[in-house]
Structure 1
Amino acid sequence: MAPHGGNGKCCEGDSHSHDSAEMGIEYSLYTKINKDNLECLNEECEGSGKTIFKPWEERLNFDTMVQSDADEELLFKIPFTANIKLKGIIIIGSEDGSHPSRMRIYKNRPSMTFDDVSSLPDQEFALHQDSSGSLEYATKVVTFNNVHHLTLHFPSNFGEEKTKIYYIGLRGEFFETHHHGVTICNYEARPNMSDHKNALDEMSTHRIQ
């Protein structure tokens, strides 16, 4: 089955080997997370939700994971130390039914709890089981600009009582304010896709919109 997202069609390019260091640069937004204040609601082990935001090189380290507790739902409340522009998300789970099946994304709503997830998300995706980080879910960049807090809600999985996630990768840019103005730090190593139609051919992941 060709992968597809909850808000558009599948975008696939020719597969090419991709430099790990380059991918590590692209997926470095985890370094801008305020982990001291990051919360994961309904995690079985306290603090385990923080461990899955890690370097690209450690994405396949399955020794660290978060597992849900009372049911299959997980809710991540992610504050950032700088404003970000979110362009893509990768979710790594297992190949069994514990992999999340949906993802709902909310921008700049830091006080959300499970009581609030019935509200309309800023974007929602139907997820596919991915144990290698080969699928990227492309966010609506216009919507996810100037993000200082991100909420990720995983309401369901593929049939197990509990949900497991091993890695969440965030791709985009961050903006740091200095006394002399604003510095824009671009964490993309290749040209902007909107300016170069063939840039997708250089990605080793499938981008899903």
Structure 2
Amino acid sequence: MQPEAEVYLKSVKAFCPGITDDELALFASKFSFKVLNKKELFLESGKVQKHLGFVVKGLLRSSFVDPEGNEITVGFYSEGDYATHYPAFIARQPSKYSIQCLEPTTFICLSFDDLQWIYRQSPTFERYGRLIAEEILKRQQARIESFIFQTAEERYLDFIKHRPTLFNRISLSHLCSFLGIERQTLTRIRQHLARK
């Protein structure tokens, strides 16, 4: 088995410790590998997402273009994350977001049909799917609430705390867009924190 597959199956087992080796082998029989270069799109806005992509290695950014033509960053996906606009993927609807590689990226992919087939094979797989969906929902909710309840500085500190390995892998413009702040505001926040 390829090392990438081992990484993925280990993450599945971490979510569902009771999963058997036979079930894991069945799971592995359905997934495929995909490698994209920096700047290539995993998902294009307006298209239906074909595959759920587990990031084995690399980094991606999810974004949309606002009515003024500005590209707004809404998320980052790195090792161990699923690159997806999940509600649109499940509903088989065109996504409003694009997901682009910021680094060369290796994925393990599962098509929608294969995912549904896997769910039908065992309650363990259904449980895994539910746990992943809950994790994605929690992240989305946390992002929404960060704009309601946190200051820009708190959002910045939260990002550093929860995604410390990403900080040196993304551009400041992408970070500012994700935090919903101007470049000058980020500079002021960092100067203020440096003085503390």
TM-score (norm 1): 0.24
Higher CA-based Rg: 2
Higher relative contact order (CA 8 A, sep 6+): 1
> Structure 1 or 2: larger strand share?
1
> Structure 1 or 2: larger helix share?
2
TM-score (norm 2): 0.25
